[in-house]
Amino acid sequence: MAVDVRTSDGVARVTLAWRSRRNALGPSDVEELVAALSDVARRPDVKVMVLTGDGAFCAGGDLAAIREVARRGAAVVRDLLYSTFQELPRAMLRLPVPTIAAVDGAAVGLGMDLALMCDIRFVGPSGWLRQGWAALGIIPGTGGELLLRRLAPAALWHLLATDPKIDAEAAHRLGLTDRAASDDTGPAPSGRTAVAQAEERAAELARLPSATLEAYTYLNRADTVAALDEHLSMCLEWQTRLLTSPMFLERADAVLMRTSNGGRHR
């Protein structure tokens, strides 16, 4: 198992542990993560969840695996997107507890989407996010455009035009994180990892009654949940078209040729 789940004092820490490939996720990896999230959702002792990665947070999707699926045609791509990758935002938003992303290291493409699926985000001094999808000629098929729009309505076009590495300070300015990593005025002094900050916040929240946390979680996500299925349906059609285009395959081939370890998407 490459998803490590540990629970203590009402807080579940879910760690992606595909360290050798910087937690780039292929179809079977996403299925394993969704199964772990579903297990967390059923546990009555869990009041808050922290999501993090061993090394990188998540360097994206497994590009080599996705390229091979794309070569098999639209029907296969559509089925994989709907039944596997799009189950990830559904599973995250079904969790009845607040979720906190602790980003130490890269969160690119699917990794950035995964962070945006959480209710709260912390980016540590070594952490960064990148939209990344557009560089491959594709869209966030897992809901990233919707999730980004809810948090930072004006950010999309800037990110598409410049594709910057969004460090802790930039993420805070965009409104994506709870606080800047270098904020020395509060309880998160400069230099603390995202995991340390996330676990502190999780412990604070875990002092509240479970039913109260569940109610706030439901209300806070209600608008996003209501819009999610229609948004994912549109993403499914566009992403299927883009992934099966010669343009994507050419760009994927070029990226994989440039990377000695291959298989990191967006």
What is the residue-wise DSSP string for 148-203? HHHH-TT-HHHHHHH---B-HHHHHHHT-SSS-TT--SSSS-TT--HHHHHHHHHH
Confidence of residue 190 (pLDDT cuts 50, 70, 90): low
pTM of the full structure: 0.92
Cβ count within 10 A of residue 209: 9
State the pLDDT at residue 180: 54
How many Å apart are CA 261 and CA 15, to the nearest integer?
A: 22
Q: What angle is formed at CA 66 by the lines to CA 253 and CA 119, rounded to 5 degrees?
A: 120
Cα 119 from Cα 110, distance rounded (Å): 16
- Cα dihedral sign for 18, 20, 25, 31? negative
* 78-99 per-position pLDDT tens digit: 999 999 999 999 999 999 999 9
Domains in the chain, start-ordered, CATH in brackets?
A: 3-181+189-258 (3.90.226.10)
Percent of the chain at pLDDT above 90? Answer: 91
213-259: pLDDT as tens digits:
999 999 999 999 999 999 999 999 999 999 999 999 999 999 999 87
| Coil, strand or helix at 31 | helix
Of 169-173, 214-218, 259-263, the range with the lowest mean pLDDT is: 259-263
**CA 50 to each of CA 122, 198, 254: distance values in angstroms, whole numbers, following the listed order:** 10, 7, 35
What the block records as the tokens of 84 is 């596997």
Predicted local distance difference test score (pLDDT) of residue 178: 83
Q: Residue 187: its pLDDT value, please?
A: 40
